[in-house]
Chain A
Amino acid sequence: MPSSRFPIPQGTLDMLILQILSLEPAHGYGIAQRLEQISRSVVQVNQGSLYPALHRLQQKGWLRAEWKQSETGREAKFYALTAAGRRQLALEKDSWARLSGAVNLIFEEGSR
């Protein structure tokens, strides 16, 4: 089963987390589930690397965290985007668009 899924590319996990949290605040497990849903199980996220990434983003001031009651009634740590996080997401989206555009250009060049 794992062979059919890509390991997530280096450095894009942060961007994906920011993107997911830009929709609404979520806890770690929720983020993991959403990652899987959104990427339609194409991208494989190592569950273990999710938490270091969350703490790193929080340390950088892009996320803030808060203990709140979750949908199951238990307390969970919810992460939300800060203003700085929003700016960072815009920045990363922009540079991703430019990078993928450039890569596409190169592929098209090769196929012609």
Chain B
Amino acid sequence: MRQIFNWIRRESLERGLDRELQYHFDRRVADLTAAGMPEPEARRRIAVELGLAQVREEVRDIWLTRWLRDFLYDLRFSTRSLLRSPAFTGATLLSLALGIGATTAIYSLVDQVVLHSLPVREPERLVLIDWKGEQLANGFGSYNLMSYPICRDLQQQIDFFQGVLCRAETTVNLSAGGDPKPVGAEIVSGSYFAVLGVGPALGRIIEDQDDAAPLAGPVIVLSYDFWQSQFAGAPDVLGRKVLVNQHPMTIVGVAAAPFRGIDVGVVPAFWIPASMSEQVVPGFHDLLDRRTRWLQILGRLRPNVTTAHAQAGLQPFFKAMLEEDTHRAGFPTVTATDRRRFLASTLQLTPAPQGHSGLRRSLSQPLWVLFAATGVLLGLACLNVAGLFLARGSARGREIGTRLALGASRGRIGRQLLADGLLLSLAGGALGIALGPQAIRALIAFLPREVASNALHASLSPHLVAFAFLVSVASGILSSLAPAVHAGRYNLIASLRERGGSGLGGIRLRKCIVTLQVAFSLILIVGAGLFLRSLSGLLAKGPGFDTAKLLSFSLDPEKNAYSQDQARQLIRRVETELRAAPATRNSAVARVRLLTGGSWNNPVTIQTDHRFTSDRDVEMNAVSPSFFATMHIPLLAGRNFDEHDSRPIGETGRRSVIVNQAFADRYLDGRDPLGVRIGSGTLPETKTDIEIVGVVGDISYRSLREPSEEAWFPIFEGDDAMGTFYVRARGTPEEAFQTIRQIVHRADPQLPILSFRTVDEQVGRSLSTERLLAALSGSFGALALLLSLIGLYGVMSFVVTQRTRELGIRLALGATGASAIRLVLRDAAAMIVAGIAIALPCVAALGRLVQSQLFGIAAIDPATVAGASLLLGGASIAAALVPAWRAARLRPTDALRLD
């Protein structure tokens, strides 16, 4: 460290040393002349006894240490020699910048989504507490859900936890002065901020008393970002009243800046205590119900308590709680098996320093796949640079030979090459970092917009720069390793005797490098092929209905303080008006939006000539009668819903259902589905009183990937008070957007229109991960192909130059041009075949890792592998053809006269 500092101020150090020595010199001269020595004589004598040059060198060694000083000289020399060959420098810089830039960009996302710990106090002591087994509970939300009372129970386990929090994310209509707008919110226990150790930037945070009893705390705490963007950071927000779903709440504080909730993918605008959940989630009255699972629970372990210790220690409490649960009022009547499974449940603790995130769950695997791919790409770039270095090394053969002859050690020469490599890779890394934010922004653009705009950012952190620096140094060492080793084996006598060029050892090494490049490229090209075919397979398959000019939007009137009946009436009124509007061809309402990844699902009981249950969940939805016609879903048998399917007023429940073809195929096995009766649920007392009245074609419900058994019920028979509208436009979608906006505005100017977009866009969103994988692996594959072609071309040109004399003799002795081409191509083909042979086992091994990301295609797909090999082989042969053709056109006389 001190030495680097010395290097920076080396000029002032030098000046100081000069003055110091000059002083000594002058004093000594004065003393000697005073003693009677003539001045010229004195000067000569002092110069000898001091040895000025020697002293300077020795002192400099002390300032910088020897190796550092040598290394700095090497760097200076490298810079000069690299600047002399701009084409070489440009090519290597570009390969390295691409490799390092891509790796850094992907790493940025890996870091943000997967690795980054929450900005809270000691995040490493946070654990996620999850129920492993059968909960016998209904619920809503994403994953790892439990009930609110369990969180309360866990807070008593102070032997293990310093604190326990629970939270759920939701969307509410927030009006702060103007019209209500949908924003994200996090429902949290009173312990939330205290457990995380997050304080307020302004006012106070949510505290225990806000969550002491239902409706105890009508307060909210804003997130710092939301405060800045929506309230312009006004300090007087404290005490302001806002409406959350039309219920008045008071802003009591703003949370500290870096904290943005515990889910990296969902950034809340504000936090609200769980005590207010009835008002935040319309129609929810189950805060204190133990059989409603809707919250994630996280705990902070006491110091010196390990996760395993806490997990083991909590089981007695948990067993007792399970036992007690079975005696509580409201515990469902269940079969003996279900009861056994319930009682066999355990608590599972997993470290959660990164919080809890659905985005991480869905994106971490694709990101690791891409990270691995960039690793291969970077390796390829390094190989490319190594190849270029070797080529340059052989051109510098004479220089190196001369330096060796003058007494440079082999280590010294190797170090010079290392300096070349490091200099290039650091410059490449700097270029990569400069391009970084752009690249990261491009990556984020592949993700759904809500995530992109809120949760992830494209800025460079010191962390990221450090990563890029490490990667650069590593690739610098990697890419100069081969040339350095090669220089170490340099045969001095042979090289000086030789007339130009270097020995054949360089060629062998370069051929190895090209072979490896071919192998790496094949891996990337096969990957690109697999992901591209998965995406195109999904696009070709489509959602099973016609998306042309199809728009969708959702209304949730209960969040604007409508009662359930009012909400239902409003939705019916809007639908009637939409169907009558001239801009629309048709329209329908569904209870659950399609292609969002979520669904309403349940297992069912089926009554044919015997009673049995479905072996997995059936995806359910409730739709208006015009749904199938609007979506262009074919009715294959039976009839559509009509007014007969409505129950008399005051009676709820369903009497008819339409199933899809997959349902009939899986459960009814050739039997006529019409008239078969089913019931929702698998309890012994489940009534099978819903009659199948029709069969429709299969469509994609959760996503394009999963084929599912679907059951469609008539809407407005249950508790439907919100809905997603599907509208087929007559003219352009823009005109229809206008009409829809007007109609909803007429119905209620205060009501926000949610998720207003074309269905094509919805399909696109549902494929964002696949698109990301396909686009990136595709460009990586193309880049890899390019790099290995350059490598192959380079080495074959070199081979031809080296063998010019031999080829000339052959041609002079009567060999044809074609045989010369064959000779060169045989060399190239050997490398290509060897490369492919190396890659195939790797492809097989890596394929298994990406299997879950593929669709409709095996990870080891012979057609893709064959196609990729053919593409790579063909292109490589073409690249080798150029030098081969040059070999064939050699004129023997020229070739023999050469050199």
| Complex partner residue of A59 from B26, B27, B49, B63, CB under 8 angstroms | B63
Contact between A28 and B20 (Cβ–Cβ < 8 Å)?
A: yes
Instruction: Tell whether B54 is near chain A: CB-to-CB under 8 Å.
Output: yes
B24 interfacial contact with A, CB 8 Å: yes
Q: Please state if A55 and B50 are interface contacts (CB–CB under 8 Å).
A: no
Q: Which chain B positions have C-beta within 8 A of A56?
A: 62
B19 CB contacts on chain A under 8 angstroms:
75, 77
Contacts of A47 in B (CB 8 A): 24, 49-50
Does B897 have its Cβ within 8 Å of any Cβ on chain A?
no
Q: Does B866 touch A at the CB level, under 8 Å?
A: no
Q: Give complex CA distance A27, B19 in Å.
A: 12
Whole-angstrom distance between the Cβ of B2 and the nearest chain A Cβ: 7
In the complex the two chains form, what is the Cα distance from A16 to B445 in whole Å?
Answer: 70
Main secondary structure of the interface of A (DSSP, over half): helix
For residue B55, which residues in chain A have a CB less than 8 angstroms away from its CB?
48, 51-52
A96 at the interface (CB under 8 A from B): no
B21 near A: Cβ within 8 Å?
yes
Known contacts A47-B50, A48-B49, A48-B54; A55/B59 CB under 8 A:
yes
Least CB distance, B19 to chain A, in whole angstroms:
7
Q: Given A49, A55, A77, which contacts B23 in the complex, CB threshold below 8 Å?
A: A77
> Which parts of A18-33 form the interface with B (CB within 8 Å)?
27-29, 32
Residue A74, interface by CB 8 Å: yes
Contact of B62 with A52 in the complex, beta carbons under 8 Å: yes
Number of interface residues, chain A, beta carbon within 8 A: 19
Complex: how many Å from CA A76 to CA B26?
Answer: 11
Distance to closest chain A CB from B22 (angstroms) = 10
Residues of B contacting A32 in the complex (Cβ-Cβ under 8 angstroms): 24
| Bound Cα distance from A75 to B51, whole angstroms | 23
Distance in Å from the Cβ of A63 to the closest Cβ of chain B?
12
Residues 44 to 70 of chain B near chain A (Cβ within 8 Å): 49-51, 54-55, 58-59, 61-63
A residues 32-84 in Cβ contact with B at 8 Å: 32, 46-49, 51-52, 55-56, 59, 70, 72, 74-77
Using Cβ atoms and an 8 Å threshold, which residues of chain A touch B59?
Answer: 51-52, 55
Q: Which residue of B21, B27, B63 is within 8 Å of A51 (Cβ)?
A: B21
Q: How far is the CB of A4 from chain B (nearest CB, A)?
A: 17
Beta-carbon nearest neighbor of A72 in chain B: B27
How far, in Å, is A105 (CB) from chain B's closest CB? 36
- CB of B27 to closest CB in A, whole Å: 5
Which residues of the other chain, B, contact A28 by a CB distance below 8 angstroms?
20, 23-24
Alpha-carbon distance between A76 and B28 when the two chains are bound, in angstroms: 14
Tell me whether B16 is interfacial, beta carbon within 8 Å: yes
Give the Cβ gap from A2 to chain B, nearest Cβ, in Å: 11
The answer on a CB contact under 8 Å between B63 and A55 is: yes
Indicate if the CB atoms of A29 and B62 lie closer than 8 Å.
no
A56 to B65 Cα, complex, angstroms: 11
| Nearest-neighbor residue (CB-CB) of B65 within chain A | A59
Label chain B's interface by main secondary structure: helix
The residues of A that contact B21 with a CB separation of less than 8 Å are 51
Note all chain A residues with C-beta closer than 8 A to B24.
28-29, 32, 47, 51
Contact A48 B23 (CB under 8 A): no
The 0/1 profile, CB within 8 Å of A marked 1, for residues 26-50 of chain B is 1110000000000000000000011
Point out the residues of chain B lying under 8 angstroms from A72, CB to CB.
Answer: 27
**Chain A residues within 8 Å of B28, by CB:** 29
Residues in B neighbouring A29, C-beta threshold 8 A:
23-24, 27-28
Contact yes or no, A77 B51, CB < 8 A: no
A62 to B284 alpha-carbon distance, docked (Å): 75
Contact A77 B16 (CB under 8 A): yes
A77–B63 Cα gap in the complex (Å)?
17
Contact with A along B471-508 (1 / 0, CB 8 A): 00000000000000000000000000000000000000
Q: For the complex, what is the distance from the CA of A47 to the CA of B65, rounded to whole Å?
A: 22
Give the complex CA separation of A49 and B61 in angstroms.
13
Closest Cβ of chain B to A92, distance in Å, is 19
Q: Kindly identify, within residues 2 to 30 of chain B, every residue whose CB is under 8 Å from any CB belonging to chain A.
A: 2, 16-17, 19-21, 23-24, 26-28
Distance in angstroms between the alpha carbons of A82 and B755 in the assembled complex: 73
A74 CB contact (under 8 Å) in B17, B23, B49: B23
With A48-B54, A72-B27 as given contacts, are A55 and B49 in contact (CB-CB < 8 Å)? no
Cα-based distance from A36 to B28 in the complex (angstroms): 13
Q: Mark B431-457, 1 if CB is under 8 A from A, else 0.
A: 000000000000000000000000000
CB-CB under 8 A for A48 and B2, given A28-B23, A29-B28, A55-B63 = no
- What CA separation (Å) do A53 and B50 show in the bound complex? 13
Which residues in B have some Cβ–Cβ distance to A below 8 Å? 2, 16-17, 19-21, 23-24, 26-28, 49-51, 54-55, 58-59, 61-63
Known: A55-B62, A74-B23, A74-B26; 4 extra A-B contacts, CB below 8 A, are: A29-B28, A48-B51, A48-B54, A55-B17
5 residue pairs, one from A and one from B, having the closest CB atoms: A52-B58, A48-B51, A29-B24, A29-B27, A77-B20
Give 15 pairs: A residue, B residue, CB < 8 Å, sorted on A. Answer: A27-B20, A28-B20, A28-B24, A48-B49, A51-B20, A52-B58, A52-B62, A55-B62, A59-B2, A72-B27, A74-B23, A75-B19, A76-B23, A77-B16, A77-B19
